[in-house]
Structure 1
Amino acid sequence: MKRFRFGLQRVLELREYAEREAEIELGKAVGALTLIEQHIAAVAEDRLHAAAERFAPGNGLAEMQNYDRYILRLDQTRDKLLMDAAKAELVVAEKRDIFLEASRERKVLDKIKDKRKGEYRKFAQAEENKELDDIAARMTRN
């Protein structure tokens, strides 16, 4: 019995490659979004500490004004990071759609391959059964 050979194997391999590449790009996009979210958390923590230190005993008016300016800068940084996060979420959504499409395309070919493999096995089994029947018939004639 000859081995099963899927005629679209090269196409399937290309689609698997495209799916892997899309998955890598999605991972990069999620990583970038996670990094931005970490920066937002760090800025929030810095702002919390600065707000607590602003009115600490022993701080003069100049130090309080410095803390106010620092807090203002942290707020501006947070706002910029939030805008960056929104853009990064759009990129993640786009990359996720690309990955899902590549995955669907690969799964279609996988299903076709499985179906054809099943058909091949049925055909090969039928051929083998015919051959065994012929051998058995010849042996009973002799």
Structure 2
Amino acid sequence: MAGRFRFKLQRVLEFRAQLEDQARMQLAVAVRAHNEQTALVDRLRDGLARHEAALDGRTRLSEGDLWLWRMYRDRLKHDLAEAEQELFRRAKEVNARRQDLVAKAKERKLLERMRASQEAAFRLEENAREQREADEMATLRFGAGTF
């Protein structure tokens, strides 16, 4: 009867798998935030392009209208610059989360390979033990003349 394999680091393996799942969720949150920021940057760029295009074709603007147009354009450029900085920060966050996930996956896979090799060694030893028992049983029966 074959014995049951028991991996002594099973709890550590399960903990590493949980850490990997948490890292995967954190990466998903970071990617979502990056995508939202990308959409904001795109909206600001479109708004700035539309605002600058609105001046084309207008030949007569009062001084006040021109001042308002410039102030709004400057504000859009400022908002765009801030949004692009935030986008860069979020891209770095995504990379950090991705690297963390890769590290956690490597740690888990290392333990899984260790478990597989220990289980293979255990199965080999079990098979050898069972073979010795079968050989011993056959030798005893042969010696007793029950064949």
AA aligned to 2:28 is G
Are the counterparts in 2 of residues 54 and 68 from structure 1 also a CA contact under 8 Å? no
Structure 1 equivalent of residue 32 of structure 2: 31
- Aligned 1:1-142 pairs, distance under 5 A: 1-56=2-57, 60-61=61-62, 62-140=64-142, 141-142=145-146
What is the Cα deviation at residue 87 of structure 1?
A: 1.6
Structure 1: distance between partners of 2:13 and 2:95: 25
Structure 1: distance between partners of 2:26 and 2:99: 11
Identity of aligned residues (%): 23
Report which structure shows greater RCO (CA 8 Å, sep ≥6). Answer: 2
AA aligned to 2:45 is A
What is the Cα deviation at residue 83 of structure 1?
A: 1.0
Structure 2: distance between partners of 1:53 and 1:64: 12
For residue 131 of structure 2, give the secondary structure of its aligned residue in structure 1.
helix
What is the Cα deviation at residue 139 of structure 1?
A: 4.0
For residue 4 of structure 1, give the secondary structure of its aligned residue in structure 2.
coil
What runs of 5+ residues in structure 1 fail to find an aligned partner? none
Please say which structure displays the higher CA radius of gyration. 2
Structure 1: distance between partners of 2:79 and 2:141: 89
Structure 2: distance between partners of 1:59 and 1:2: 93
User: Aligned residue pairs: how many?
Assistant: 142
Structure 2: distance between partners of 1:58 and 1:136: 109
Q: Deviations over 1:46-89 (max 9, x none)?
A: 11222222234587435554333322221111100111112222
Select between 83-92 and 5-14 the one with higher mean Cα deviation.
83-92
AA aligned to 1:77 is D
Structure 2: distance between partners of 1:135 and 1:100: 52
Select between 107-116 and 23-32 the one with higher mean Cα deviation.
23-32
Structure 2: distance between partners of 1:96 and 1:32: 14
Q: Deviations over 1:83-114 (max 9, x none)?
A: 11122222223222322221221111111101
What runs of 5+ residues in structure 2 fail to find an aligned partner? none
Q: Alignment RMSD, CA only? A: 2.1
